[in-house]
Chains A and B, each alone.
Chain A
Amino acid sequence: MPGNTRVSLGRRAFLGGMAAAGAAAAGLRAGRARAAESLNALVWCDHTDPALIRPFEEAFDVRVNLKEYEGTGTAFSIIEQSAPGDGDVFVIDGIDVPRAVDAGILAPLPEEELPTADLFPELVMAESHVRDGRTWAISEKFGYNTISYNREKVDPADVMDMAVIWSEKYAGRIAIYDYYLPIIGLVAIGLGKKTSELTEADLPAIREKLFQMKKVAKLVGDVVASQTALATGEVDILVGGGEWVTAGLAAEKPELDWVLPKQGGLRWSQSIGIFADSTRKDLALEFVKYILSPEGQARLATSSCYWAMPANRRAGEVLTPQQKAALRWDDQPAYLARAQLYPAPDAELDARMQDIWTEMLQQ
């Protein structure tokens, strides 16, 4: 009977479907079983791009578990709440490496296996990465916290002077990147101070300028909010921006640009190291070597989360001319010479800086 036929076909289809699903599940399990090893990495969002991670997973038949964070304070908080051995690879702000070494978080790296000689010389950062003759981390990516702007709405001559960030001329058209260290650093540079020499005595003048900036700013936003504000025309200037905001948008929004004012800008960098408690140090080292390879560096530089300069000069052999243009590859010698590092306050000065930052936000 037709009715029976339908039931019968339905059952066959159902059983066939179940068999297929079972086979697929078995296949998945087998896949998982093949990638028996796993590697846990505490990283910035640029490392979560599959285009960066998958080649390593396939080459080493390993599963890389990525935990993303923003801000070293958050990372330390995560590490404090984790069991020893939970993490293998740690990506950290270059200037915070000494804090991690002090805390005993990092393991020494075998210097002879690292491409240190291929790095841009300014990115070797021995003062941060080397202690007691041993290397604890290596730079992997860098960029600038400076001024991003819309070339069609802002006079390029204006953004060559850091004073634009607190001037009334662009009141209501400025966004501030919500990270106290680079912005305080930029204000310090605008005031003619060196970021490496900041003390408590410099804070009143910085505080006054921060408050002035807040008055003319439309918003203070995280990476997504500030980038969205610039891209949607909500604001025309982003204080603290740089290639990491605009380079990835170069094709869609060619009017968005970034510049180092005549006073200079801030150079940020991220470093990679291995956790002291890692139980898979060999594999972690392979990951570090992959990230530092020219191919890994090119993928990291153009990662979907944000673009920025690779620390390894040899990535230039892999990047396309368009990618290099968006990253301002040829301008790097001049930019590196004019940029200063993030302020590196001690715990007490850091707390004071955060206090004035919170006060500024509350204005």
Chain B
Amino acid sequence: MAAVRAARRQRLRGFAFVLPALLWTAAFFLLPFAFMVAMSLWRRVGGRILESWTLENYADFFGRPHFLEGLANSLEITLTVTVISVLFAYPLAWIIAEKVPERWQRAALMLAVLPFWTSYVVRSYAWLLVLAHDGVVNRALLAVGLVEAPLVLASTRTATVIGFVHFFVMLLTLTIYANLRQLSPNYARAAADLGAGPVRIFLHVILPLTLPGVMVGAFLTFVLAIGDYVTPQILGGNNELVLPQIIMLQIGRRADLPSASAMAIVLMAVVTLVYFACARWLRLERA
């Protein structure tokens, strides 16, 4: 009997420990999410929200090519950004973890994440000036004679991608660096003992073992980039719209929260699908 009571006490204590987290999640995720789902099934008509259930907001979204194009633009830009960021961040993290002397690694990491200290909005506007018609990049290219006329860089998809990559390379460098640091050097030594060359060691030992870190960073990049409004708005020049910009148009111009909610749910569904696609690499523990 005493053992049963002790076990129950143990369970209650465990529950008490997780209760704050559960309450937090319920208050700040589940309830707002449920409200957003409900809102997406209502309709704004003539300036008023009709609280009767309908799927019309979803039908509108999937029935209008310019809305679907927004989703396609979001996916294309986000995937491009994720791939380019990984390609830049991995070598950078590897150099910091393997080539930079240990006492300088902290300083190197700090330098790598230094741009994080600037406001995201200010950084985006700064990029706009850098990429402008007579900005730093064009002036440098013209000065060294690489181009005869200024390149069109600002207010393009390229500018959006550059702004994103600048931000996410820092984020990915941190996650990949942490992963590389956890990796015992004995793996590489054992592979070398067995006759593997540097390329083979990287491809067959280092890369597979650091893949979870890469995937966690890539997933974070995907989630943050696909939901971002600021960078495409400032750097893209409204020459094409991504889904968050279309969502903002529904809120800012129409005060149409039901439509905006439906689009936000679609965006969440896309993120969920990507999560499931990457789930096998997103476990926190090392296999």
Contacts and interface: CB of A to CB of B under 8 A. Distances in A.
Interface of A: 70-71, 73-74, 76-77, 80, 99, 103, 172, 178, 180, 218-222, 224-225, 228-229, 232-234, 347, 351, 354-355, 358-359, 361-362
B251 interface: yes
24 contacts: A70-B252, A73-B255, A76-B47, A77-B252, A178-B238, A218-B152, A218-B155, A219-B238, A219-B239, A221-B237, A221-B238, A225-B128, A225-B234, A225-B237, A232-B135, A233-B132, A233-B134, A354-B249, A354-B253, A358-B66, A358-B241, A359-B66, A361-B66, A361-B238
Given A103-B47, A218-B152, A234-B133, A74 B238 contact: no
A77 B250 CA distance: 11
Interface string B212-248: 0000000000000000000001100111110000100
Contacts of B253: 71, 73-74, 180, 354
Name the residue in A76, A219, A351, A362 with the highest tally of chain B Cβ atoms < 10 Å from its Cβ.
A362
Question: When A and B form their complex, which 7 residue pairs have the shortest distance between CB atoms, in order from nearest?
Answer: A219-B237, A220-B238, A219-B155, A77-B255, A362-B66, A73-B255, A234-B133
B46 interface: yes
Interface string B17-40: 000000000000000000000000
Nearest to B129: A232
Nearest to A80: B255
B252 A232 contact: no
Given A74-B251, A74-B255, A172-B152, 9 more contacts: A73-B251, A103-B47, A219-B239, A229-B154, A232-B133, A234-B155, A347-B47, A358-B241, A358-B246
A321 B234 CA distance: 36
Name the residue in B66, B134, B152 with the highest tally of chain A Cβ atoms < 10 Å from its Cβ.
B66
B263 to A, nearest CB: 12
B98 interface: no
Which secondary structure dominates chain A's binding surface?
A: helix
B48 to A, nearest CB: 10
B254 interface: yes
Contact of B46 (A178, A180, A224, A347): A347
Given A71-B253, A232-B134, A361 B46 contact: no
Contacts of B155: 218-219, 221, 229, 234
B144 to A, nearest CB: 21
Nearest to B234: A225
A77 B257 contact: yes
Contacts of A80: 255
A71 B253 CA distance: 6
B69 interface: yes
B152 A362 contact: no
Interface in B166-200: none
A289 to B, nearest CB: 30
A107 B28 CA distance: 37
A42 B8 CA distance: 56
Contacts of A361: 66, 238-241
B47 A74 contact: no
Contacts of B234: 225
B69 A362 contact: yes
Interface string B148-162: 000010110000000
A71 B125 CA distance: 22
A351 to B, nearest CB: 7
A80 B70 CA distance: 28
Interface string B63-81: 0101101100000000000
A359 B65 CA distance: 9
B260 to A, nearest CB: 10
B134 to A, nearest CB: 5
Nearest to B46: A347
Name the residue in B70, B154, B240, B253 with the highest tally of chain A Cβ atoms < 10 Å from its Cβ.
B253
